[in-house]
Structure 1
Amino acid sequence: MKLSRHTRAAAAVAGAASIALLASACATGGGEGSEGGDVELTVTTFGTFGYEDLYKEYEKLNPGVTIKATNIDTGGNARTDVFTKLAAGSGLSDVVAIEEGWLGAIMEVSDQFVDLTEYGIEDRKADWVDWKYDQATDPDGRVIGYGTDIGPTGICYNGKAFAAAGLPSDRDEVAALLEGSWADYFDVGRQYTAKTGKAWFDQPGFVWNSIVNQMPEGYYTSDGELNVEGNAELRKNFDLLAAAVGDGLSAQQAQWDWNGGKSFVDGTFATMVCPGWMLGTIKGQLEAAGGDASAGWDFADVFPGGPSNWGGAFLSVPETSQHKEEAAELADWLTQPEQQVKQSKAAGNFPSTLEAQKVLADEAEPNELFNDAPTGAILAARAEGVKAQFKGPDDSVIQENVFGPPLQALDRGETDADGAWEQAVGLLHELVEE
């Protein structure tokens, strides 16, 4: 059964695994629909946003404003939540975080979100990397989101595991070792696995997402046409990854489930694709498993195939908000460079404002958990040359629901590259309107 665009966006994602972790906060302001006095603002965010202290700071700066926070566990569930509430015409928070992966679907209903040019966002256009502001602009020129973070990507690696395998462990030497193509990255992984008998990466889903994000055009062409079936370059990359999985480079971990964080402590795998926000995820996993810097993780200024962006978010104000002005003020404040620096230090993600990026690069504070790596400076370097890829309305559906099951079957050894690709094409026809 094929789904209509809008119902498909909600229904197909309802069973999807997450693209990113999700936190949601609920807040309500005091503009339209309020009579003055105290105001409660609701905010929904996703991932490890690092906003907890910023909420408290905003409340102190704005007496009478209360921010109420809740959490949604995954990005997939957050998307489902947003589209379910959009369909119902009620229930959305005053400020809603939108993930880059499903921004294309949101753009099909962008009229249900406030045009932030009415609240002065154009005055801040130069704050962001140019493509971030452009991403939040709909075909009618309405801007529906304040940019939060972006996802420049490097390689997290376990220095102890590298040393035990006879590989260099110094991050500059690791960067030189892994500089090159994905084929080169997998070849080093084969050396590591042959030496240790252990996996090179956690599971193929994240690697596949990174490879696709790096392509000039991913699941859609730049003019919005589906770009999967018959895409020779996409199939070539799929086969490359399938061969790596077949050679035992995957640890067969479930996405977003690393055995309670123990897999980061016990040497289950040696490398991981790491957009900036993933550093916060790993931190949480290590802490959950009782691990610390002694686990051996580090962060290298390198990514196979060159610059890549994975993820990033926007803060939007739904038309259903009764407090649009106050909600826009809060979203504006949370995404100012000063706050983005604080957010990055709390959550490990990387800001989308140029001033905040410069601060992190200049300060280059060592990240104790990652062998004192200057993660801010490394991410600033990884952000150079990044260009946003066009994301179509079903981009996240294709990533999670079309390619997710075949990659999992491939990881379990239940199929080969041809069978997995055929399964993906079948799911594409079933789930995505052409």
Structure 2
Amino acid sequence: MPRTAVVLAATAALAAGLLTGCAEDSGDEPGGSSGGGGGGGKGGTTLTVGVFGAFGLQEAGLYEEYERLNPDIEIKQNSVQRNENYWPALLTHLSSGSGLSDVQAVEVGNVAELTGTHAGKLMDLGKVSGVDKKAFLDWKWQQATTEDGKTIGLGTDVGPTGICYRKDLFEKAGLPTDREAVGKLWAGDWEKYLETGERYQEKAPKGTSFVDGATGVMAAVHASGERKFYDEDGELIYKDSPGVKEGWDIAARFAKAGLTAKLQQFQPSWDQAFANGSFATITCPPWMLGYIKDKAGDKAEDQWDVAAAPKPGNWGGSFLTVPEAGKNKEEAAKLVAWLTAPEQQAKLFDKRASFPSASAAYDLPEVRDAKNPYFGDAPVGKIFSKAAEGVPVQPIGPKDGIIQQYLADTGMLGVDQKGTSPDKAWDKVTKTIDNALDQ
């Protein structure tokens, strides 16, 4: 799923009752006009932070807190609403060495392009005082680290996945509703998730399906494998990857068995289906909980719950980087180290539902004790911490987002909505991907 959709979903999630905030759109330039800062610093050094979407650092009060701790620093945020505008402009400015903010945010789907081709233009943040590699999830740290060991970005958040499910629909279909029992239905195996769907469909309440759509299933399986589209050497392997094949085959079987509501995610019909209670399960990272609450509404409170996924994967997340061309790069690096420290990540989760990429934050009370009342007081801190620690160290490549989008929208969507043969759809989509990548 493209990060643009993730950003929009996260924005909606935040607006849905976790805590609200609105990022200002200051145009298409990552180093463009300021969207404002913490408001408390009037020091001699102004640090600019370039972000996309409702990133949350400013809204959670972290800039203001840093300014109080460092009176000589003032922080101003440059915000672009959509990553699809932010990212190309950032690449242009990195290439020219001008027009950059002191700190630049980078979405996980783009970070491999930086480690592969632009690492020399960014500071090695792994060497900054106060940064502890062991405090971060290993797979998150590796995503922004080059082959020769240079860490060009520090993680702000991750999107470990669970399965959100409707307890009322499960009960009507004769399935258990307790989250521990539900998780055991499919523990460790996406095949068991399919089998649970077949059981559900035998007694499914009228007008409901087990899952929203086949594309979501496919993405979840892909995210949970050891390999996806690239191997450890950066070679493109998506056609022969066992994980990609498993995701494609299982998703196609969901479609052919009639277990899906044939929906495309982040479309109006998908949003309406939450309100109508049209499907019983969906793969969900922490930010999805607020989205569900927003779309399903008050009438569905305590009908949704969260269980562990068959295998954990990751959906979403970002990094902070410091361009070498920056005028205040040493101070900027100190700011990034502080913003991504476990204590600040725990605060960001508490205020903005951005799940920490620093595993050292998981024992802090803001994370450890977190519950979601809309989801039956589900212990979301513990559920997603366990999921995050189980995500595989999966190689990511510069074109991951493009490949995933084509596999979903050009490939699996046709299988799900039009009944296209999986083999025919696969042949078509691989040709489309190869053309897009000039293979």
TM-score, L = length of structure 1:
0.83
Does the CA-based 8 Å contact 1:212-1:218 persist in structure 2? yes
Work out whether 1:313 is the aligned partner of 2:299: no
Work out whether 1:389 is the aligned partner of 2:394: yes
2:51 pairs with one of 22, 37, 44: 44
1:263 pairs with one of 254, 262, 273: 273
CA deviation map 1:131-171 (0-9, x unaligned): 33333222343221112223322111111221222221111
SS of alignment partner, residue 189 of structure 1: helix
Does the CA-based 8 Å contact 2:156-2:317 persist in structure 1? yes
SS of alignment partner, residue 270 of structure 1: strand
Work out whether 1:100 is the aligned partner of 2:86: no
Shift of 1:392: 1.6
Shift of 1:44: 0.5
In structure 1, distance between residues paired with 2:409 and 2:94: 26
Change over 3 Å in CA distance of 1:296–1:311 after alignment to 2: same
In the alignment, what sits opposite 1:176? 184
CA deviation map 1:375-411 (0-9, x unaligned): 0011122234332200122112211135432122223
In structure 2, distance between residues paired with 1:80 and 1:246: 39
2:415 pairs with one of 410, 419, 429: 410
2:327 is aligned with what amino acid?
A: Q
SS of alignment partner, residue 407 of structure 1: helix
Does the CA-based 8 Å contact 2:155-2:357 persist in structure 1? yes
In structure 2, distance between residues paired with 1:333 and 1:414: 51
In the alignment, what sits opposite 2:40? none
SS of alignment partner, residue 21 of structure 1: helix
In structure 2, distance between residues paired with 1:66 and 1:349: 21
What does residue range 18-417 of structure 1 map to in structure 2 within 5 Å?
18=4, 20-21=6-7, 37=44, 39=46, 41-45=48-52, 49=56, 51-53=58-60, 54-63=62-71, 65-73=74-82, 75-86=83-94, 89-107=97-115, 108-117=117-126, 119-120=128-129, 123-194=131-202, 195-196=204-205, 197-231=207-241, 234-257=244-267, 259=269, 261-279=271-289, 283-287=290-294, 290-291=297-298, 294=301, 296-300=303-307, 302-304=308-310, 306-359=311-364, 363-413=368-418, 415-417=420-422
Change over 3 Å in CA distance of 1:429–1:172 after alignment to 2: same
In structure 1, distance between residues paired with 2:84 and 2:212: 20
CA deviation map 1:191-248 (0-9, x unaligned): 3234224122222333212211222211112222211224455334312211211233
Does the CA-based 8 Å contact 1:104-1:392 persist in structure 2? yes
Change over 3 Å in CA distance of 1:288–1:235 after alignment to 2: closer
In the alignment, what sits opposite 1:8? none
RMSD: 3.1
Does the CA-based 8 Å contact 1:292-1:369 persist in structure 2? no
Change over 3 Å in CA distance of 1:147–1:270 after alignment to 2: same
Shift of 1:291: 3.1
Does the CA-based 8 Å contact 2:362-2:385 persist in structure 1? yes
% identity of equivalent residues: 35
SS of alignment partner, residue 403 of structure 2: helix
In structure 2, distance between residues paired with 1:428 and 1:376: 38
In structure 1, distance between residues paired with 2:48 and 2:367: 35
Does the CA-based 8 Å contact 1:296-1:371 persist in structure 2? yes
In the alignment, what sits opposite 1:5? none
Query: Runs of 5+ in structure 2 lacking a partner?
Result: 12-22, 25-29, 37-42
SS of alignment partner, residue 18 of structure 1: helix
1:55 is aligned with what amino acid?
A: Y
In the alignment, what sits opposite 1:4? none
Shift of 1:361: 8.8
SS of alignment partner, residue 70 of structure 1: strand
Deviation larger for 86-95 or 96-105: 86-95
Deviation larger for 355-364 or 145-154: 355-364
Change over 3 Å in CA distance of 1:409–1:336 after alignment to 2: same
Does the CA-based 8 Å contact 1:208-1:238 persist in structure 2? yes
Shift of 1:56: 3.4
Shift of 1:47: 6.7
Shift of 1:366: 2.1
Shift of 1:364: 2.3
The size of the alignment, in residue pairs, is 408
In structure 2, distance between residues paired with 1:21 and 1:189: 29
1:337 is aligned with what amino acid?
A: P
CA deviation map 1:51-78 (0-9, x unaligned): 51223333444445133352423x5554
Shift of 1:338: 0.9
TM-score, L = length of structure 2:
0.82
Does the CA-based 8 Å contact 2:80-2:86 persist in structure 1? no
In structure 2, distance between residues paired with 1:329 and 1:187: 50
Shift of 1:429: 1.4
SS of alignment partner, residue 430 of structure 2: helix
Does the CA-based 8 Å contact 1:361-1:380 persist in structure 2? no
Shift of 1:368: 0.8
In structure 2, distance between residues paired with 1:393 and 1:50: 26
Shift of 1:422: 0.8
